[in-house]
Amino acid sequence: MKRVEGLSKLTGRELYVDDLPVDGFLWGATVRSPAARGRIRGIRFDDSVDWSEFTVVDHRDIPGTNAIFLIEEDQPVLAHGRVRHLHEPVLLLAHPRREELRRAVEAVHVDVDAEPPVLDFRLTPDRERIQYGDDNVLKRLRIEKGEVERALAQAPHVIEGVYETGAQEHVYLETQGMLAWEEDGVITIAGSMQCPYYIVEAFEHALGRTPDRIRIIQAATGGGFGGKEEFPSGIALHAALLALKAGRPVKLIYDRSEDLAVTTKRHPSRVRHRTGVDGDGKLLGQDIEVVLDGGAYVTLSPVVLSRSIIHAAGPYACDHVRIDGRAMFTNSPPFGAFRGFGAPQSLFACERHMDRIAAELGIDPVEIRKINLIRDGDSTATGQVIADGADRVQVLDRALDLADYYERRTAHAGFNAAEPTRRRGIGLATFFHGAGFTGSGELFLDSEVHVAGLPDGRIEVRTANVEMGQGTLTVFTSLVCDRLGVPAEAVTIAPADTSLVPNSGPTVASRTVMVVGGLLEKASDDLRTRTGLPADADGRAIREAIREWHRSHPGEPLIGKAKYEQPEHIHWDDETYRGDAYGAYAWGAYVADVEVDLRTFAVSVRDFVAVQEVGRVLHETLARGQIQGGVVQALGWALLEECKWRDGAMENAQLTNYVIPTAGDVPPIRVEFLESPYPHGARGAKGIGELPFDGVAPAVANAVAGATGTDPASVPLTPETVMDLILRQRPPAGSLT
Amino acid sequence: MSGDGVEIRLTLNGEQVAARVGEHDRLLDLLRYGLRRTGTKEGCGEGECGACTVLLDGVPVNSCLVPAWQARGRSVETVEAVPEEELAALLESGATQCGACTPGVVMTAWWVRRNRELVDTHSLRELMAGNLCRCTGYDGIIDGLAAWLASTASGEPGGPG
Amino acid sequence: MTVFLPRDLDEALELRDRHPGATAVAGGTDLCVLWPERVAARRDEWLDLSGVAELRGHEWTDGALILGAGTTYWDVIRDRRAGEELPLLVEAARQVGAVQIQTRGTWGGNIVNASPAADGVPVLMAYDAVLELRSRSETVELPLADFYLGYKEMRLAPDQLLTRIHVPRRTYDLQWFEKVGSRSAQAITKVGVAVTRRDGEWRVVANSVAPTVRRCRSLESLLAEGLPVSGPADLMGALESDVTPIDDIRSTAEYRLEVLARLLYWRLRDVCPSIT
Ligand SMILES: Cc1cc2nc3c(=O)[nH]c(=O)nc-3n(C[C@H](O)[C@H](O)[C@H](O)COP(=O)(O)OP(=O)(O)OC[C@H]3O[C@@H](n4cnc5c(N)ncnc54)[C@H](O)[C@@H]3O)c2cc1C
Ligand code: FES
Ligand code: FES
């Protein structure tokens, strides 16, 4: 099946928020904090501007609670009294002309009595910098399995390492934007978003309204990657407040510089490993500490931390594991959801550390993984017994095979001996990614989907899960077509408009196909049952039965429904952090072949092989596209993308200074899937959206280590960092060069 | 001109159009807000991303870097002008995901398609390097363009072009 | 805000004379970055050069390639002869931005924008290019190597326009350009260098390592004299007197200097007997 909305995108007909036709609207803009931390002394408006032409909104215009509803309610919609990070929204302006608005933003001065900020999450804060609880820890979590201290005390070798990763900006190609208007007492939003119902909840709290007076519509969305999960709630509220006060539609679109400077980014991390191993490399004990920079408000950091620690020990069987996690408060714009959701950070550390262990023991990086990879019957760090029939060693072998791993390793040794200025290396990573919400999260979401039979025999799918590039519309269409045996023309997907679709949960956590897709199959069955037909009825009969049902029930809706029920095998204890963290894991093995130029210290990726076991591939082109796109985005994180900080916020807030890969910077990404169907996912599928992010940075860093004989402990490996490694770092003992 | 803009004429997708443009307006603004051709996208306003790519007198340019008054008397082609049946190869290969980069990608690719001799001196990746895409990892785009170049004029895959 | 739209060079020069404060716009690839928020709101008068036919295009004479100031990178890339005779022009042009920038960006704009990171300037300087500067009253010629005075300061009077660039047609026994940016395209140079050698006479021109694109005269004489060099470190003394790199948002002084020395050493080792 071709991408459902593909032609509409290729021809430019698809309407994103800034393309929607509206008349008589105002442009909105945001006045922000000039300081990382302090008390707001006052706000001054220059006389040079005729303020009567402007709509001006501050915290006093918020009818409900001044908080963006999420896990906690600590983040204000508009700062009042004090500011906690640079660029924090303080005041909103609207005006018909964008040029006037730009001038006006500069004519508002927020005076702040500055206080000492926390700018480095790795340092223990002194007293005057404590701003959250009594230690600035936003969230603390621990996983414990077996007795790690005893295991480490008895292990023949204990190997330590500290690893760091930097922030990353999503760079969805369409910046954040919202259009708000009020219509018959209903505040309405159309905009770029992943989670329409998150915005409904945020509006209930901050605007003090009941859901029937709130309508949220997803416009075509030009990429999200997690960046349009929680962040849009704030900007939607801003647009709504302006529209309510102005009595006119308001469009609030961030330009790229603003988007880069103020929106969420991937959490920076620091991960410490202390690992006991025997002489063959068998893991005896893993003691791991994961620290994330959360930024100035709690937002989603607790759940990012949760996923980060659950993945921190890697896809390995080890009887004694302790993982301590902390998310720290700093005076930075909050860090947020980003593809992988904490797992890429902890898996970078884990997989770099596996290579370090192998190097120190003088064993092959392939062998150490093969010895330790989970076999069916083994358990993860949370004690989840894996028995999914997937063969993780086979995934690794397939990747090695496709990449000509051993041949290349030999060839590189010869090349490196002969070449004065170039060094080649090949590196690998094995990893996993849990799909869906953690633990009982899916149960709390209580997702519901509808599949409606229309009077003309067409079928309409109603979910709040959105298309943002990942292919939701196409996969949903094909699932329903398959289930009911109807052609694609017979199926339409209702717009993600909360006045039309039920709450099927957020479009995050690689849950759309596996969880929501599964519900769609059930709802399709329910629709068929309601028409009175048995499971073996064919599509034509079903469509006729739908038409017939409507003839006998004029004016009534015919809706097949399904609600989430937790598969019986899932048991999770949120108190002890033990049990089945995810319904299913996808497994991957990635191999990177790199060349380092010893003149410029630049790393170029010569070849990249991505092999993964994903349950079932529902649509080959879409699935491959997810992997290739994820790999390239992660290559950016591994090699190029670096946020430079000033007062806790991004200083290089332009695409010329925050560089992401172009077509010329990456090789073709070679993708292969292995399939071992997951019985509770739609047609056997497990989630794949985030998986590709996890294995890239460690594979690349391991390849650079091999090429240069250094021991990189952080990403991004920019040329400046690689220069530092080569000029200053002694090769680690026993490194494979 | 001073203050209230200037009247210009240009050829847009083969049609003569007249428009009043402000001194501040970029060609991108003229297209999107003045003429309501919203196919052309803004991704950065810095000339980095190529989402705003249009053909100006037959060559690809970033319309965010062109003052609208520089388009006077010139010919502009936007994504709206590309015949739908030409797009089969890009649709098939997975060249579009979120679609925000897509109109720009299509315009650069359309230019390459109509000037196939470019591939004698340039790789497809070099030609497409001015169009950032955050979704596809570029394989879908490059493979689609290669297939498009190999197809016959009707857009159906055919012998080497 | 006022925009002047001259139709030919005379009109442009006359407007330049009457409105010395007006900013000339050629391809706009420097000026129009973040145009609405950064520039349009702040500058008042603009002089559009896009309608001035005399500035466009290039021609080959017996002794020189003459580039109109408004010649684009793409014009040069598409000229097969340029690739054969003056290959560094094409190499540099192909590494400017990406196609969408190459079709709009002009050689004249690159020179007058006076960025230390400009990629067109080092190759022109290594080829001993001469600028033609015109005002209503006179036309003067000035070697590009003498044009810059300091960061964004140059010998261009408010009533002058850069009209043409003469690039002598000569044969070189060595010509080489290398650009180091953060990625393969759309990259501002972190350090770059153009080198030519003709009858034992050297030109070494580096960019992004000083307030202006810089001819490295100490290094040129070190090479001309054939002083022995046995590693990148042996070039450091000369380079440190030629260039003054800084730390900025794109790279570090240390990286720029180290890489410049390494690029030069490894390339010149193949062609200079004195370098081992
Ligand atoms: C995304 C992007 C990537 C880029 N990459 C590179 C790169 O890799 N390498 C590089 O060197 N540059 C790069 N640039 C910068 C720019 O493209 C070049 O410097 C280009 O040559 C400028 O030419 P222009 O005609 O567009 O200049 P404009 O922007 O029109 O003008 C630049 C300056 O020159 C003045 N000027 C122009 N013509 C004349 C004249 N005839 N007489 C007097 N003054 C004049 C203008 O007043 C202005 O001050 C990049 C720019 C962008 C946006
Ligand atoms: S919007 Fe013009 S290049 Fe990005
Ligand atoms: S398809 Fe989303 S940026 Fe290219």
Segment A643-653, tens digit of pLDDT: 999 999 999 99
CATH number of A604's domain = 3.30.365.10
Taking a contact as any Cβ pair under 8 Å apart, which residues of chain A between 621 and 640 contact chain B? 621-622, 624-625, 627-633
Q: Where in chain C is the domain with CATH 3.30.465.10?
A: 52-168
The per-residue pLDDT of chain C, averaged, comes to 96
Ligand 3 pocket, CB under 6 A: A 173, 223, 469; B 96-102, 133-136
* Residue percentage of chain C with pLDDT more than 70: 98
* pLDDT at residue B153, as a whole number: 59
Q: Where in chain C is the domain with CATH 3.30.390.50?
A: 175-268
Query: Do A404 and A500 sit in the same domain of this protein?
Result: no
Task: Answer whether A11 sits within 8 Å of B80, measured CB to CB.
Answer: yes
In a domain, A147, yes or no: no
Question: What SS3 class is residue A595?
Answer: strand
pLDDT in tens, A588-605: 999 999 999 999 999 999
C-alpha–C-alpha distance, residues A225 and A227, integer Å: 6
Interface test with B, best of C31, C84, C94, C100 (most B CBs within 10 A): C100
Query: Do A242 and A283 sit in the same domain of this protein?
Result: no
Task: Report the pLDDT averaged over residues C248-269.
Answer: 97
C-alpha–C-alpha distance, residues A106 and A101, integer Å: 9
Task: Answer whether B108 sits within 8 Å of C34, measured CB to CB.
Answer: no
* pLDDT at residue A252, as a whole number: 98
Question: What SS3 class is residue B32?
Answer: helix
Pick from C41, C51, C97: CB nearest B130: C97
C-alpha–C-alpha distance, residues B54 and B104, integer Å: 7
Task: Answer whether B78 sits within 8 Å of A660, measured CB to CB.
Answer: no
H or E element: which one contains B55? strand B53-56
Q: Give the A:B interface size as CB pairs under 8 Å.
A: 166
The answer to whether A598 contacts chain C (CB < 8 Å) is yes
Task: Answer whether A11 sits within 8 Å of B133, measured CB to CB.
Answer: no
Query: Do A510 and A598 sit in the same domain of this protein?
Result: no
Query: Do A626 and A668 sit in the same domain of this protein?
Result: yes
Q: Which residues fall within 8 angstroms of residue A446, CB to CB, at 6 or more apart?
A: A503, A563, A564
Tell me which DSSP letter residue A128 carries. G
Query: Do A462 and A605 sit in the same domain of this protein?
Result: no
Atom 2, ligand 3: residue with shortest CA distance: B98
Task: Answer whether C101 sits within 8 Å of B60, measured CB to CB.
Answer: no
- Residues in chain A with CB shorter than 8 Å from the CB of B103 are 12
Distance from CA of C112 to the nearest CA of A (A): 21
Task: Answer whether C28 sits within 8 Å of B65, measured CB to CB.
Answer: yes
Give the residue extent of every domain in chain B.
6-80, 83-150
Q: What is the CATH number of domain B6-80?
A: 3.10.20.30
* pLDDT at residue C38, as a whole number: 67
* pLDDT at residue C1, as a whole number: 77
pLDDT at A348 over 70: yes
* pLDDT at residue A420, as a whole number: 95
Query: Do A47 and A182 sit in the same domain of this protein?
Result: yes
In a domain, A249, yes or no: yes
Q: What is the CATH number of domain C175-268?
A: 3.30.390.50
The answer to whether B48 contacts chain C (CB < 8 Å) is yes
Nearest one of C255, C270, B108 to A420, comparing CA atoms:
C270
pLDDT in tens, C33-45: 988 776 656 668 9
Task: Report the pLDDT averaged over residues B59-78.
Answer: 98
pLDDT in tens, A603-630: 999 999 999 999 999 999 999 999 999 9
The answer to whether A600 contacts chain C (CB < 8 Å) is yes
Query: Do A597 and A548 sit in the same domain of this protein?
Result: no
- Residues in chain A with CB shorter than 8 Å from the CB of C188 are 656
* pLDDT at residue B156, as a whole number: 47
C109 lines ligand 1 (CB under 6 A): yes
C-alpha–C-alpha distance, residues C36 and C33, integer Å: 9
Q: Are A565 and A523 in contact (CB under 8 A)?
A: no
C-alpha–C-alpha distance, residues B71 and C28, integer Å: 12
* pLDDT at residue A568, as a whole number: 86
Q: Which residues fall within 8 angstroms of residue A465, CB to CB, at 6 or more apart?
A: A472, A476, A496, A504, A505, A506, A507, A512, A516
Q: Which residues fall within 8 angstroms of residue A287, CB to CB, at 6 or more apart?
A: A148, A149, A152, A273, A274, A275, A321, A322
pLDDT at B1 over 90: no
C47 alpha carbon to ligand 1 midpoint, in Å?
Answer: 15
Other C-beta atoms lying within 10 Å of the C-beta of residue B33: 13
The answer to whether C253 contacts chain A (CB < 8 Å) is no
The answer to whether A652 contacts chain C (CB < 8 Å) is yes
C-alpha–C-alpha distance, residues C171 and C86, integer Å: 9
Domain assignment of residue A455, given as a range = 441-563
Strand order in the sheet with A603-613: A422-435, A584-597, A603-613, A669-674
pLDDT in tens, A276-335: 999 999 999 999 999 999 999 999 999 999 999 999 999 999 999 999 999 999 999 999
| Per-residue tokens: C89 | 């022009």
pLDDT at A53 over 80: yes
Atom 3, ligand 3: residue with shortest CA distance: B133
Task: Answer whether C37 sits within 8 Å of A257, measured CB to CB.
Answer: yes
Query: Do A526 and A584 sit in the same domain of this protein?
Result: no
Query: Do A530 and A611 sit in the same domain of this protein?
Result: no
* pLDDT at residue C44, as a whole number: 81
* pLDDT at residue B23, as a whole number: 85
The answer to whether A727 contacts chain C (CB < 8 Å) is yes
B36 alpha carbon to ligand 1 midpoint, in Å?
Answer: 29
Task: Report the pLDDT averaged over residues B24-49.
Answer: 97
C-alpha–C-alpha distance, residues A428 and C122, integer Å: 41
Residue type at position A542: I
| Per-residue tokens: C97 | 């931005």
Domain boundary among A262, A282, A316: A262
> Which of A88-102, B90-104, B147-161, C187-201 is predicted least confidently?
B147-161
Task: Report the pLDDT averaged over residues A368-376.
Answer: 98
pLDDT at A565 over 60: yes
Confidence of residue A440 (pLDDT cuts 50, 70, 90): confident
C249 lines ligand 1 (CB under 6 A): no
Task: Report the pLDDT averaged over residues A98-108.
Answer: 93
B53 alpha carbon to ligand 3 midpoint, in Å?
Answer: 14
**CATH assignment of B83-150, given 1.10.150.80, 1.10.150.120, 1.10.3720.10, 1.20.140.10?**
1.10.150.120
Residues in chain C: 276
The per-residue pLDDT of chain A, averaged, comes to 96
Q: Which residues fall within 8 angstroms of residue C80, CB to CB, at 6 or more apart?
A: none
- Residues in chain B with CB shorter than 8 Å from the CB of C103 are 56, 59-61
What pairs with residue A462 in β-bridges? Answer: A450
In a domain, A612, yes or no: yes
The domain total for chain A is 3
Nearest one of A692, A709, A708, A729 to A603, comparing CA atoms:
A708
**C52-168 classified as CATH 3.30.465.10:** yes
Query: Do A106 and A231 sit in the same domain of this protein?
Result: yes
Domain boundary among A213, A228, A262: A262
| Per-residue tokens: A267 | 């959490």
| Per-residue tokens: C152 | 């964004």
| Per-residue tokens: B71 | 């388009």
Nearest one of B143, B98, C93 to A663, comparing CA atoms:
B143
Q: Which residues fall within 8 angstroms of residue C99, CB to CB, at 6 or more apart?
A: B60, B108, B127, B129, B130, C74
H or E element: which one contains C205? strand C201-207
Task: Report the pLDDT averaged over residues A204-229.
Answer: 98
Q: Torsion angle, CA of C88/C89/C90/C94, rounded to 10 degrees?
A: 100
In a domain, A128, yes or no: no
Q: Are A702 and A642 in contact (CB under 8 A)?
A: no
Atom 19, ligand 1: residue with shortest CA distance: C110
- Residues in chain B with CB shorter than 8 Å from the CB of C28 are 65-67, 70
B82 lines ligand 2 (CB under 6 A): no
* Residue percentage of chain A with pLDDT more than 70: 99
More confident call, C39 vs A263: A263
